[in-house]
């Protein structure tokens, strides 16, 4: 009898361990993104434990490095408490404090809030085969200086779009002339009865441009005069928007 491939054994073992177990995060964060006003020295973020067991919660901010830890992060923010226990059906407030100045005051700066949820072992299931899984949530944290011209909503509504080609693939070039970050969850154009879309989310930085690939990848369609896109508000709402294409 031939030996079972090693990778297949690993898969079977993982399936056996997960029988009867559904991995689910306990800790829920209020909001899908956080805005830190430049007029404040700290921001409060609400957490709640919707599970049936306590969780160990660890929180920190990074500057875009997903591998950064609370001790290695270079972001100018401190989260307190850094680590805490959150009991079932209880809530807790995280305090995000700005620890130093020097951030640009003419545009937003983007950071990421990390919340690690480590559920405790369910004693009622002692002796069963199950996986112990930790969940990390990583949310956008936008530092917004005082006195910026316009608003986040007007920035999203004012995106400028151009259709083009890069490496034989269709792209939409989004231009953001504002001082705000704009998050786009989807974008599409229609030509000749066909829809050319991108389901990939994108973040267009202040006073910058970003190329978004379109699917299917073919020669850029002709006869397109407008673009439809969905942007995400400060409160996590999806807002549908239409705009004309520039030359």
Give Cβ neighbours of residue 72 (< 8 Å, ≥ 6 apart): none
Per-residue pLDDT tens digits for 76-116: 999 999 999 999 999 999 999 999 889 999 999 999 999 99
Q: Which fold has domain 152-244?
A: Immunoglobulin-like (2.60.40)
Q: What's the CATH number for 25-144?
A: 2.60.40.10
> Range with the lowest mean pLDDT among 35-49, 102-116, 119-133?
119-133
Query: Binning pLDDT at 50, 70 and 90, where does residue 130 land?
Result: low
Query: Binning pLDDT at 50, 70 and 90, where does residue 210 land?
Result: very high
pLDDT score for 221: 59
Question: 182-191 and 226-232: which strand pairing?
Answer: antiparallel
Write out the two tokens for 6.
Answer: 């090693």
Give, as one character, the DSSP assignment of residue 215. Answer: B
Write out the two tokens for 121.
Answer: 């072992």
Percent helix, strand, coil in the chain (nearest 5)? 10, 45, 45
Query: Binning pLDDT at 50, 70 and 90, where does residue 14 land?
Result: very low
Query: Binning pLDDT at 50, 70 and 90, where does residue 42 land?
Result: very high
d(CA 156, CA 219): 28
> Range with the lowest mean pLDDT among 56-60, 74-78, 130-134, 138-142?
130-134
Of 30-44, 154-168, 209-223, where does the model show the most confidence?
30-44
Two domains, one topology: 25-144 and 152-244? yes
User: What ranges do the domains of the chain cover?
Assistant: 25-144, 152-244
Query: Is residue 234 a contact partner of residue 152, using CB atoms and an 8 Å limit?
Result: yes
Q: What is the largest CA-CA distance in the chain?
A: 74
């Amino acid at each position: 009898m031939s030996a079972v491939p090693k990778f297949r054994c690993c898969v079977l073992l993982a399936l056996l361990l997960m029988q009867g177990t559904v991995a689910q995060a306990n800790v829920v964060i209020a909001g899908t993104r956080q805005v830190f006003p430049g007029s404040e020295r700290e921001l409060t973020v609400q957490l709640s434990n919707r599970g049936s067991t306590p969780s160990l919660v660890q929180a920190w901010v990074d500057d875009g490095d997903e591998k950064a830890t609370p001790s290695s992060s270079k972001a100018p923010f401190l989260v307190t408490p850094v680590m805490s226990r959150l009991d079932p059906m209880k809530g807790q407030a995280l305090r995000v404090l700005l620890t130093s100045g020097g951030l640009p005051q003419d545009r937003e700066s983007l950071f990421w809030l990390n919340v690690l949820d480590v559920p405790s072992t369910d004693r009622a299931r002692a002796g069963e085969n199950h996986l112990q899984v930790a969940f990390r949530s990583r949310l956008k944290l936008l530092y917004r200086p005082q006195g910026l011209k316009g608003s986040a909503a007007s920035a999203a509504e004012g995106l400028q779009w151009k259709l083009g080609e890069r490496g034989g693939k269709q792209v939409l070039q989004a231009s953001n002339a504002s001082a705000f970050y704009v998050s786009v969850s989807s974008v599409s154009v229609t030509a000749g009865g066909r829809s050319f879309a991108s389901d990939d989310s994108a973040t267009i930085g202040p006073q910058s441009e970003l190329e978004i690939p379109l699917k299917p990848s073919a020669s850029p369609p002709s006869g397109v005069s407008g673009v439809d896109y969905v942007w995400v508000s400060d409160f996590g709402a999806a807002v549908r928007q239409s705009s004309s294409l520039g030359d």
